[in-house]
Structure formats: C-alpha cells, structure tokens
Amino acid sequence: MFTGIVEEIGRVSSRTPGNGYDSLAITGKKVLDDLETGHSISVNGVCLTVVDLSEESFTVHVVSETLEKSNLGEIAPGSLVNLERAMGPRDRFHGHVVQGHVETVGYINSITMDRGAVRMTVTVDTYWLRYCIPKGSIALDGISLTIVGISPAGLTVALIPFTLSQTTLGKKQVGEPVNVETDIIARYLERFLEMEPDEEYGDIDVGMLRSWGFGES
C-alpha cells in the first residue's frame, strides 16, 4: 500500500522486452536506501515488484496488461517517473490509501495559472468520475491530490509549486497521459450498496451493530 506522497523522481535507464513482460531499469537515490528484491514500489502510481538491484538502480517487470492500461507502455529510456516505496506500519499517513492498481489513463486537457499555483484539468472516462467528489482524493501518476472541480469532461486538481517541483507533473504538457486511480473507499461503498441483503442478517441496522459489539462502552 502507498499514500501517494512521491519520494523522488527516477529516470528510466533501460527498457528490455521479454516474454509477456518488459523489464524496466530505473535509477534513483532515496528509494534505494532500504529497498530489497521482492519489495513493492510505486512507479507512476503502478505497484510493481523489485526483481533486481544495483547501487544506482532497480529493475521491475511490467506485464503486457499493465503496459496497455497505464502510461508505462509509453515510457522509454530517459523518461522520468514518480517513485514511492511501500508504506511502513509506523509511517505517518500523509496522503490517502493508494493501492497502485491503476484503473484508467486520463489525458491533460488544460494547464492554467491560478495565483501562483497551477490548475490542471484531466479528461477521464465518465465511468470513473462516479468515484470522484469535490474535495475528495485522486491519485494521478501516483500522486495523492485533492479534486477541486468535476465536470462531464473530467476533473481538476490544484498543484502548488512544491508538488510541481518534486513530481513529474511540473514537466507535463497538455495532451500527455496520466495514470488514474480513484479512491478505494468509494469503490467499496458502491460494491456494498449493490449487494443483495443477506438472507440470514438482512439489512444492517443499529440493533445489528450493537449485537456485534459495536457501540458498547
């Protein structure tokens, strides 16, 4: 699990096609401190497994489905990517719950200045907008951001100078793709509401919660 707080910008040093997957070697510094093979790492918001390490880089395998459903399919040697190690049990929770399971790719529709900050509008398929609310959280290329506006065409986020300088969003241009992961809480709620009442328990109410031990002092 991740929180969407990018630790550093890495650079893709090589991309090697394989049988059903591509191998990406990515250079970094901070994320290498306690990284080990088998660890999970977020690359542009995609949860990947470290399969090899060197003093200056790590290697991950990206399967064909992930290449097709994320912007990792378009990166090449020299491309910059956002990096975040998996959250530790004692770490502060600065962002929001990010699984690293990219759901769709959005495209930057506009970038405008707003009193020193930047407002970025991203076109997203309307299916995924159902999980977005104003002031809610969204992960774009692995970055935990707050939604400041929603329209039929997509969503808008506000970016402060620090975020622009510490992530790849500061180098993005209109038309470029970004990986999108919506808030998992919204998806769980939708699933829960869609389910038929359980034959044994029926609808959940206050009495049922108390019978399970909730609300007791």
**Does 99 fall in a domain?**
no
118 in Cβ contact with 158 (< 8 Å): yes
CATH of the domain at 81: 2.40.30.20
Select from 84, 122, 121, 81 the least CA-distant residue to 104: 122
**Does 215 fall in a domain?**
no
Residue 121 lies in domain: 104-193
Please give the C-alpha separations between residue 12 and each of 23, 57, 83, in angstroms, as whole numbers.
10, 9, 11
Q: Residues 30, 59: one domain?
A: yes
Total structural domains in the chain?
A: 2
**Which pairing describes strands 177-181 and 104-114: parallel, antiparallel, or unpaired?**
antiparallel
**Does 96 fall in a domain?**
no
129-166: pLDDT as tens digits:
999 999 999 999 999 999 999 998 899 999 999 999 99
Q: Residues 189, 155: one domain?
A: yes
Please give the C-alpha separations between residue 209 and each of 35, 186, 190, 198, in angstroms, as whole numbers.
42, 21, 20, 15
pLDDT on residue 204: 63
pLDDT on residue 213: 72
pLDDT on residue 199: 58
Q: Residues 110, 189: one domain?
A: yes
Cα 39 to Cα 80: distance, rounded to the nearest angstrom: 21
Instruction: Report DSSP state, residue 130.
Output: T
**Does 2 fall in a domain?**
no
Low-confidence residues in the chain, pLDDT < 70: 196-206, 208-209, 214-217
pLDDT on residue 217: 47
Read off the pTM.
0.87
Q: Residues 19, 81: one domain?
A: yes
**Does 200 fall in a domain?**
no
